[in-house]
Amino acid sequence: MITIIEADGRREREQLEAMRARAAQKNEAIELAVSSIMENVKEEGLPAVERYTREFDHRMPYEVPNERLEQAYQSCPPELISALEHAADNIRDYNQRLLTKTVEWTSPDGGTVGRIVRGLTRVGIYVPGGTAAYPSSVLMNAIPAKVAGVEEIIMVTPPTDNLNDGVLAAAKIAGVDRVIAVGGAQAVAALTYGAGFIPKVDKLVGPGNAFVAAAKRMAYGTLDIDMVAGPSEVLIIADGSADGKYVAADLLSQAEHDKLASAVLLTDSMELARSVDREIIRQTGYLERSEIMEASLRDFGCAIVCPNLDWCVELANEIAPEHLEIMTCQPRELLPRVKNAGAVFLGAYSPEPLGDYLAGPDHVLPTSGTARFFSPLSVDSFLKTMSVIQFDRSSLAPISSEIMTLAQTEKLTAHANSIRVRFEEGEPEIRRG
């Protein structure tokens, strides 16, 4: 069920490169279609959004009344509401502890300097519709924005026959301000440029299909985005002490997302690799979505047996996975050497779904190796900062000549003049080129 490779410095990299190449393939037809949608919505506004919504969803976009959110909340099973509220509490607590504050201090030169921290004004959240209904993603995207002090959160979701009660209940719990039933690239375009009753936003977050991902890429620069997420990934570093049953279960938990999802095991134990392979076959037999899991593991899954754990960590840092699980005798001992991962899960009882749903840190994570330079979504993602500077005459005077020296070196005489006029009497000699 899963390919087992003995690392030799070449074979494992060839396997990983082949997996990356398959995942990186782009659909040019999608890019062209989305480019047209974005341009038409920019030029025409709401009529274009309505036209595309009728074409793709066979309905008109509309705003969901608050009463519908309350109805959804009341309609959900009590155990679901309890789980959502528990998750919301943990997400809120985690982000409140991370919240950056405004700070000012007296500089070495005697002036006041500092940084003002503000929440963004308006944020959009994209929530997929249809069978891909993820209430947890509503919480993970909206609550950090709320903690950051975002003034208005607009959630968009495709106008299906019956909007998902769990998603709407999560929107209520998270404090979403408006829910608009509109989806696809046209929803992204509407939030980018504004379209009638759909306002433009400062930032757009949330997952979507290939059309939504392409639209977010094109929108970036006009607004900010969280990231263009690729297929889900898990990488597990495990030694011979790990339970093959747990390792297999965690690999399968990612493989069920998508046929393009990646699940990789790095281990120093051939015995464990073979045990995991047997467990994958056994567990797949009683799980749903077995066809998706089998395709994912066939094309984007493998077990790489390395000479030692040092080799495993080095390879993991090259891969920079979305989720990194460490199931070794002493998992925390490896943590200081981990450089690149979206989220790290330590020990046999910290499985990736814990992070997906309830632990508190966000499950919106960098994929496709971008953990080398991107970070998880958090309260920081919804903040902007402004520097603040205040000097008086007595604190500016001692450093004025240095400022003028730097300005004149860069041939910016008006910069130098801005300082000079505050301290020199008379007019300078006129120099013309």
Distance CA 142, CA 157 (A): 14
Q: Verify whether residue 323 is a known catalytic residue.
A: yes
Contacts of 40 (CB under 8 A, 6+ apart): 48, 52, 189
| Residue tagged 């393009």 (tokens) | 260
- Of 323, 325, 352, 363, which residue is the catalytic one? 323
Query: Strand, helix or coil at 235?
Result: strand
Distance CA 297, CA 425 (A): 78
Buried residues in 116-128 as b, exposed as e (16+ CB within 10 A)? ebebbebbbbbbb
User: Token pair of 146, please?
Assistant: 């709320």
Q: Which helix (H) or strand (E) holds 353?
A: helix 352-357
Q: Which residues are annotated as a binding site?
A: 126, 186, 209, 232, 254, 257, 323, 356, 410, 415
CA distances from 53 to 58, 125, 130, 216, 289 (A): 6, 18, 15, 18, 30
- Of 50, 279, 322, 325, which residue is the catalytic one? 322
User: Token pair of 198, please?
Assistant: 């759909």
User: Token pair of 197, please?
Assistant: 């009753």
Q: Which residues are annotated as a binding site for NAD(+)?
A: 126, 186, 209
Q: Which residues are annotated as a binding site for Zn(2+)?
A: 254, 257, 356, 415
**Mode of pairing for the β-strands spanning 103-106 and 112-119:** antiparallel
DSSP-derived letter for residue 349 is T
CA–CA–CA angle 377, 381, 382 (5° rounding): 130
Which of 42, 215, 46, 226 lies closest to 120 in space, CA to CA? Answer: 226
Distance CA 21, CA 10 (A): 16
- Is residue 140 within 8 A of residue 377, CB to CB? The reply is yes
Q: Which residues are annotated as a binding site for substrate?
A: 232, 254, 257, 323, 356, 410, 415
- Is residue 280 within 8 A of residue 2, CB to CB? The reply is yes
Which of 378, 366, 280 lies closest to 323 in space, CA to CA? Answer: 366
Q: Which helix (H) or strand (E) holds 98?
A: helix 78-98
Contacts of 405 (CB under 8 A, 6+ apart): none
Which residues are catalytically annotated?
322-323
